[in-house]
Amino acid sequence: MVSLRLREKLFCRSRGSCYWIKMSRSVNRIVTIGLVALLPACASTRHAAVKDTTKTFKTVVVDAGHGGKDSGAYRRYGPPEKLVTLDVAERLDHKLRESQLKTVMTRSSDVFIPLDERVNIENSQKNAIFVSVHFNDSRRRGVRGFETYYHSSASFDLASRIQEKLMSIPHSANGGVHTANFRVLRNATCPAVLVECGYLSNRNEGNLARDSEYRELLADRIAEAIVEQRYGAGVYHGSTQVAAQPSQPNTSTGSTELAPVGGHR
């Protein structure tokens, strides 16, 4: 997450940006001492041998962040992150299959999948890449924008391409491409990226995330980046249903809108 002063990274644990853990300074100090002791153990697992399949891959492992008991980011005026990640992931899965790529989803329903199981799924595929879909959260409501994360150098081009395609969405904000030590990236043996599709904590991006047409647009841009990464520019043919401009957030009660679930927590 973005409020770095209040959040400290646990090197041996993994999370998306939404997995930063809030700690006081004194706790930070204690944890830091503990982490120094743990570093040698981490070092042995930090550098998975990554095969660069970005020009040859036939399979895309599509990872919908969170699920089940893990709701991810949650705001009372919008759906929890786990539902919007699943919806974008399913749309992405569909578009990739239409583009003749094989896909594997780490989850296709609202279930909890431990991070290590996600890593096992991504590493069990031959000649694959891994794309994890998340939405972001910040205590500062004004923070907005797309961010894409990677760990291995083999994943950089894919991360950059996804970020670039997302930035083609009008009025979008660029949070940048960054390295991250998230477990699903760090332990991947294939190129792996994690996409933060905007901030649910931001009123505008949170409202957009509720709109099915906007989620279709997000999936379309990510799919375009993946297909171009594999086959080159101009090959991807997106859905004709995707609008050139993001529509206004859908305030109707149509069936495509994701209603908040679980009530106020």
CB burial of residue 38 (10 Å; 0-12, 13-18, 19+) = middle
Q: Which is nearer to Zn ion, 99 or 187 (CB)?
A: 187
Task: Indicate the residue among 57 and 199 with the shorter CB distance to Zn ion.
Answer: 199
Binding site for Zn ion (CB under 5 A): 16, 18, 65, 72, 134
**Shortest Å distance, C-beta 118 to Zn ion:** 12
d(CA 74, CA 89): 18
| Least gap, CB of 228 to Zn ion (angstroms) | 25
Between 18 and 113, CB nearer to Zn ion: 18
First to last CA, the chain: 20
Say how far apart CA 2 and CA 133 lie, in whole Å: 18
State the minimum distance, in angstroms, from the CB of residue 82 to Zn ion: 8
Buried b (16+ CB within 10 A) or exposed e, 182-211: bbbbbbbbbbbbbbbbbbbbbbebbbbbbb
What SS3 state is found at 129? Answer: strand
Distances (CA, A) of 37 to 22, 174, 205: 21, 37, 40
CB of 18 to Zn ion, least distance (A): 4
Report in angstroms how near the CB of residue 111 gets to Zn ion at its nearest. 16
Q: Which is nearer to Zn ion, 129 or 184 (CB)?
A: 184
Nearest CA among 132, 161, 126 for reference residue 65: 132
146: helix, coil or strand? strand
Phi, psi of 158 (to 5 degrees): -65, -45
- Asked whether 220 and 95 are in contact (CB, 8 A), the reply is yes
Which is nearer to Zn ion, 65 or 79 (by Cβ)?
A: 65
Task: Point out the residue whose Cβ comes nearest to Zn ion.
Answer: 134
Query: From the CB of 185, what's the least distance to Zn ion, in Å?
Result: 13
Would you say 53 or 148 has its CB closer to Zn ion? 148
Q: Contact, 142 vs 111, CB < 8 A? A: no
Structure tokens at 95: 């578009």
**Closest distance between Zn ion and the C-beta of residue 183, in Å?**
13
Q: Which is nearer to Zn ion, 73 or 217 (CB)?
A: 73
